[in-house]
Chain A
Amino acid sequence: DQQVKQNSPSLSVQEGRISILNCDYTNSMFDYFLWYKKYPAEGPTFLISISSIKDKNEDGRFTVFLNKSAKHLSLHIVPSQPGDSAVYFCAASYNFNKFYFGSGTKLNVKP
């Protein structure tokens, strides 16, 4: 029973264009959401987060959007760079109790 889902296993984008990674969740109690980035043979590294009291958080080229009514969040990367090629995991928690992760989306940014 997966409470966090990333339905696109992979995404390919041209360098300089926008990458949009999507994530859906089922538990309306979730109040904190994160995106992690993972390179091969490394652990996930934190990228950006958003609290449920906000609908947008921006950090440089990375913006996370939260749509609570749709139980959907997305990560926008603009402009995409080849170094962004990695697997991106979405995660959610309530009361920081424990984090539920999606299965990841592999992003390939082509030069």
Chain B
Amino acid sequence: DTAVSQTPKYLVTQMGNDKSIKCEQNLGHDTMYWYKQDSKKFLKIMFSYNNKELIINETVPNRFSPKSPDKAHLNLHINSLELGDSAVYFCASSQDQGRAFFGQGTRLTVV
């Protein structure tokens, strides 16, 4: 049973398209995150939700919009995709904002 699962694992799409990445956790955690691993391999936080409320919103283009329908889900929707959006996106969850459990990552390639 995967604790944090995200789909799809790979996503190849054209510039200008709109796409979504889904994330679900079955750990009963209160907090969920989206991280982006850039070309220099840094993992940078994008968003954090605690009990469906947005608590961290880093300097991310507003083309990126997280949606948390319930505590167990945090989806990431990206509008008007650009080449620079190509990266690996990781979903994660934690209890009481402690150590995070990560999903396997979604490799997004914009062509």
Contacts and interface: CB of A to CB of B under 8 A. Distances in A.
B22 to A, nearest CB: 15
Interface stretch (B13-21, B43-51, B62-70, B79-87): B43-51
Given A101-B42, A104-B41, A43 B99 contact: no
A44 B90 contact: yes
A110 to B, nearest CB: 22
A66 to B, nearest CB: 16
B102 A49 contact: no
Contacts of A91: 43
Contacts of A46: 99-101
Query: In the complex, which range does the number of interface residues on chain B fall in?
Result: 20 to 34
Interface in B60-111: 90, 92, 96-105
Scoring B42, B44, B56, B92 by chain A CB atoms within 10 A of each residue's CB, the highest score goes to B42
A44 B104 CA distance: 8
Contacts of B40: 103
B4 interface: yes
Contacts of A2: 42
Contacts of B102: 36, 43-45
Interface in A52-98: 87, 89, 91, 96-98
A42 B41 contact: no
Given A36-B102, A44-B43, 4 more contacts: A43-B4, A43-B90, A43-B103, A100-B45
Interface of B: 4, 35, 40-45, 48, 56, 90, 92, 96-105
